[in-house]
Structure 1
Amino acid sequence: MARTIPDVTTVALAVTDGMLHFELSIAYEVFSAAPIGVADPWYDLHVCGRGAVRAGWFRLEPDHGFEQLTKADTVIVPGWADVDEAPPADLVDAVRAAHEAGARVASLCTGAFVLAAAGLLDGRRATTHWAHTQALADRYPQVKVDPDVLYVDNGSVLTSAGKAAAMDLCLHLVRLDHGSSITNAVARRLVVPPHRDGGQAQFVTAPAPAPDNHPLAELFPWAIERLDQPLTVEDLARQARMSSRNLGRHFRSVTGTTPLQWLLTQRIRYAQELLETTDDTVDTIAAATGMGTATTLRRHFNRTVGVPPDSYRRTFRSRPHPGLNDSRQHHQLP
């Protein structure tokens, strides 16, 4: 049965000795403070653990024990430092009990090993840091490990890839609960993209280039401002001053996908934004996103998002928030 997210969602961070402080800090930063201008109640955040916790180089005192996890709407399990060791049994038991009580459970980075030990990933698709995906697959053969994605959403169980992908998943959770407008506001406060294209495969052998330090840096905003136009690969290549073949190679390197697939992703994302924040008809949105007709938009939207545009609007329609205006200029890519 679908679980209703209340107006004020309780988020519990499940922490113990050996947690990775980077992932823990990301979750705390995202869920502890509402972005400026958001009048609605934000998350009620609790840090739950067993006594004082050492996480990397710092020490923290949880405000609740593990028993509080069963009262939370969302439980976040940060990265687990030593994946060669089994996670603490009381942590595993508490996470399993929280899920059985109806909590949405999400792991960040190697926190997936805790979820796997709790049996929450059996038969489910999941991911973790690329350096540990094989270990996760070997140790828990019933888990369908996907090494190439930034995060996996199974509804009540979610997992993220390594390090910065924890931010991707946390923002995804905010988007599920509050919509695009609020998520974009959170992302702007943190100076990060509200959504990144591609998967973690692009980060395995080399870090992604800085937003202003790769051959497509100027092309991305140019294309996003022209989503209503019938752009082709040749148009993009001409604007980037390179051959179509070169363009394809750079797109694969930077975004992990092809130019046309990237364009489709931007069109769908903009359609989602318009469905959430305007009363425009599907025909109007189809024209604004370069889909041409409502039929074409519905086909691509349903295939990509999994629901028709009208159903999506009913589920994710954002309430107005003063001072938070979406537009294509707020996209930050890749």
Structure 2
Amino acid sequence: MRRSIAILLFDDVEVLDACGPFEVFSVANRVAERAGTAALFDVTLVGIDDGAVRARGGMRIGVDTTIDDPRGFDVVLVPGGVVDAVEADSRVLQWLQRIRPTAETVASVCTGVFVLAAAGLLDERPVTTHWEDLELLGDRWPALVVHEGVRYIDHGDLATSAGISAGLDLALHLVARWAGADHALATAGQMDYDWSGAEHP
């Protein structure tokens, strides 16, 4: 099954939060094609508005479409960064709420979990985020079960990861979930990334 993946982009997004998972899914496609099979993922970069976003550090990244696009996606990934404006943007929250019922998996990297929480997409199941923001997440949403010391937590329909580089681990885990551990390990090897494939709670 070829999955459609939407990665939300916004000003002050953390570069690796967004581009790390993008690279994992892109390389997983190359590994599949080299093995003579079809690509596994169609990745779409979704902006709040048209035009490039300016990521943290000043990197400009173009988008493929915007949250006004009526399409649904199999997977929606919300990266972190400076998310104050994003989690207060009613258009973003409504987009997530609209897309959630038909998405197979909604995921966050780092502080992207704050956007999911603001949209009301989290429940009593454990979540995680960057180590600097664990206490703030629990303070703002005391009903959440916030875990530290894990790279990611996957519940099937909901997945969250710790900070920045942990998005690579989560994305590789998702590749393993959908395409098998061997494919994920081959993807990590192609990226020259040290990944054991170990499960996390």
State the TM-score, normalized to the length of structure 2: 0.87
**Could you tell me the percent identity over the aligned residues?**
32
Cα distance in 2, alignment partners of residues 86 and 75 from structure 1: 15
State whether structure 2 residue 178 is matched by structure 1 residue 167.
Answer: no
Q: How many residues are treated as equivalent by the alignment?
A: 194
Between structure 1 and structure 2, the one with the greater Rg is: 1
1:9 to 3, 8, 29: 3
What's the secondary structure of 2:65's corresponding residue?
coil
1:221-240 to 2 correspondences below 5 Å: none
Whether the aligned pair in 2 keeps the contact of 1:149 and 1:198 (CA below 8 Å) is no
- CA drift of 1:70 comes to 4.8
- 2:198 and 2:133 map into 1 onto residues whose CA distance is 22
Distance 1:67 1:73, change over 3 A: farther
**Pair 1:41 & 2:38 matched:** yes
CA displacement, residues 202-258 of structure 1 (integer Å, 9 cap, x when unaligned) = xxxxxxxxxxxxxxxxxxxxxxxxxxxxxxxxxxxxxxxxxxxxxxxxxxxxxxxxx
CA RMSD of aligned residues (A): 2.2
1:155 equivalent in alignment to 2:156: yes
Report the counterpart of residue 271 of structure 1 in structure 2. Answer: none
Structure 1's unaligned 5+ residue stretches are 1-6, 200-303, 305-334
Displacement of 1:96 in angstroms is 2.1
Q: Which moved more, 1:95-104 or 1:159-168?
A: 95-104
Q: Distance in 2 between matches of 1:46 and 1:151?
A: 22
Structure 2: runs of 5 or more not aligned: none
Give the C-alpha shift of residue 186 in structure 1: 0.5
Q: d(CA) in 2 for partners of 1:25 and 1:118?
A: 23
Amino acid at match of 1:31: F
Write the distance in 1 (CA, Å) between the matches of 2:99 and 2:10.
Answer: 16
Native 8 Å contact 1:168 1:195 kept in 2 = no
Query: How high is the TM-score relative to the length of structure 1?
Result: 0.54
Structure 1 residue 60: Cα displacement = 2.1
> What is the alpha-carbon distance in structure 1 between the residues aligned to residue 195 and residue 126 of structure 2?
23
The structure richer in helix per residue is 1
CA shift, 1:182, in A, is 0.8
C-alpha displacement of 1:68: 4.1
Structure scoring higher RCO (CA < 8 A, sep ≥ 6) equals 2
Q: CA deviation at 1:29?
A: 0.7
Q: Give the superposition deviation at 1:84.
A: 8.9
Partner amino acid, structure 2, of 1:51 = D
Match of 2:20 among 22, 26, 29: 26
